[in-house]
């Protein structure tokens, strides 16, 4: 199937200080498949929000093309833009609800603009509020709601006209961790039950690891790495990606941590990576047991962690290995036949 969203050499420039040109998005090539949950991550100023605004044509490319559901955004007239935006819902970090309207009034607002009858609006609003789990809040106002409830209203409103695409721009950044997980679970339902394509813009790697199928990493307006979430996390190539991955896994010790570990644990510090398909998890116990029994090498876990991502293992474990140097060398060589191994200098 062709991508539902496609960037080809897409660039967006703005006038900067003293007439200088600022490239918020710089030559991006990116495809998002129908029914996919795609993450776009990057630090502040990477160009993420500009990129997502190009999907619903709130920003048009300065050069290159952006194609959404078969429409090239830069060629659309006013009517075409209205039709495109009706097929693209959006939820925001700060909710953007009307404080003077009830929950039902907020959700029904886009339907009113679209010309739905009062009866049609009532039925659709009820259906949506039941779907997001806050039907009992229909007559309340935003000020009476928690942050998570407000975001559920935002999701219901974004789904009002049954868009094929949903954009979530830092939609969980203002929420606490528990509420974030509730909202992400709801977005997974939207994707699974409604088949909605979701583009998640975030600087939080935990959000990407929890909900996304694919991820694109942005830095200075460019996409520097992209692919299935597990592949990008398991083998990050770009320094920015490695920093993001470390922020989630926290499984490899820093230089300062290594120094502290050396003070408390004798022997050689060795980090062993665990990845899907490497056989590392099963090999670890077998190799360590063999060398412990036959060669007198003692291993102590001193750092690390393994988590599941896309139902596959991902992480690393750091060991302090003590014993004869030749025996430790043999153990390390044995492990390297199964996975990546690094010894601290």
Kindly report, residue by residue over 315-330, the tens digit of the pLDDT: 889 999 999 999 999 9
Tokens 């153990």 locate to 331
Q: Which CATH class is domain 1-87+191-249?
A: alpha beta
* pTM summary value: 0.87
Low-confidence winner among 67-81, 146-160, 305-319, 325-339 (lowest mean pLDDT): 305-319
Task: Name which of 45-54, 224-233, 287-296 the model is least confident about.
Answer: 287-296
* Mean per-residue pLDDT, 21-25: 92
* Averaged pLDDT, 100-112: 95
* Tokens (6 digits) for 307: 């988590």
Rg over alpha carbons for the chain, rounded to the nearest Å, is: 25
- Please provide residue 183's backbone torsions phi and psi, each rounded to the nearest 5 degrees: -70, -40
Measure the CA dihedral 180/183/189/194, to 10°: -130
Q: Does residue 218 register a pLDDT over 90?
A: yes
Residues with Cβ within 8 Å of residue 220, at least 6 apart in sequence: 26, 45, 46, 47
**Cα diameter, the chain:** 82
Outline which parts of the chain fall under CATH 3.40.50.300: 1-87+191-249
Q: How would CATH label the architecture of 255-343?
A: 2-Layer Sandwich (3.30)
Q: What are phi and psi of 101, to 5 degrees?
A: -110, 145
Cα-based torsion angle of the residue sequence 41, 229, 35, 219 in order, rounded to the nearest 10 degrees:
20
Mean pLDDT, rounded, of the chain: 91
- Are the C-beta atoms of 81 and 128 separated by less than 8 Å? no
Alpha carbon distance, N-terminus to C-terminus of the chain? 49
Looking at the chain, the domain(s) classified CATH 3.30.70.260 span 255-343
Q: Is 186 helix (H, G, I), strand (E, B) or coil?
A: helix
Q: Report how far residue 327's alpha carbon sits from residue 294's, in angstroms, rounded to the nearest whole number.
A: 9
Residue pointed to by tokens 């998005």:
25
* pLDDT score for 249: 77
pLDDT tens per residue across span 238-277: 998 888 888 777 888 888 999 999 999 999 999 998 888 7
Burial track 261-290 (b if 16+ CB lie within 10 A, e otherwise)? beeebebbbbbbbbbbebebbebbeebbee
131 conformational bin, left if phi > 0, alpha if psi -120 to 50, beta if neither: alpha
């Amino acid at each position: 199937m062709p991508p539902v969203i496609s960037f080809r050499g897409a660039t967006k420039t703005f006038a900067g200080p003293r007439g200088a040109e600022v490239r918020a998005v710089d030559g991006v090539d990116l495809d998002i498949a129908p029914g996919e949950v795609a993450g776009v991550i990057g630090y502040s100023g990477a160009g993420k929000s500009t990129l997502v605004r190009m999907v619903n044509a709130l920003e048009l490319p300065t050069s290159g093309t952006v194609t959404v559901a078969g429409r090239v955004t830069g060629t659309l007239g006013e009517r075409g833009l209205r039709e495109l935006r009706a097929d693209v819902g959006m939820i925001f970090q700060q909710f953007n609800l009307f404080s003077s309207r009830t929950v039902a009034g907020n959700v029904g607002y886009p339907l009113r603009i679209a010309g739905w009858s009062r009866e049609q609006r009532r039925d659709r609003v009820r259906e949506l509020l039941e779907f997001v789990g806050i039907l009992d809040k229909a007559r309340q106002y935003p000020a009476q709601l928690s942050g998570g409830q407000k975001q559920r209203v935002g999701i219901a409103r974004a789904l009002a006209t049954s868009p094929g695409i949903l954009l979530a721009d830092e939609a969980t950044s203002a929420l606490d961790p528990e509420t974030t997980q509730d909202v992400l679970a709801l977005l997974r339902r939207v994707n699974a039950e409604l088949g909605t394509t979701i583009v998640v813009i975030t600087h939080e790697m935990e959000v990407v690891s929890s909900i996304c199928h694919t991820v694109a990493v942005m830095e200075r307006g460019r996409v520097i790495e992209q692919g299935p979430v597990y592949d990008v996390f398991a083998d990050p190539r770009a320094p920015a990606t490695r920093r993001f991955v470390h922020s989630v896994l926290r499984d490899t010790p820093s230089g300062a941590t290594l120094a502290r570990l050396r003070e408390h644990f004798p022997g050689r510090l060795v980090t062993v990576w665990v990845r899907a398909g490497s056989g590392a998890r099963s090999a670890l116990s077998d190799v360590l047991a063999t060398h412990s029994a036959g060669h007198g090498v003692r291993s102590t876990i001193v750092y690390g962690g393994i988590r599941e991502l896309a139902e596959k293992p991902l992480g690393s474990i750091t060991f302090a290995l003590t014993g004869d140097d030749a025996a430790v060398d043999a153990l390390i060589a044995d492990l390297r036949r199964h996975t990546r191994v690094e010894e601290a200098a």
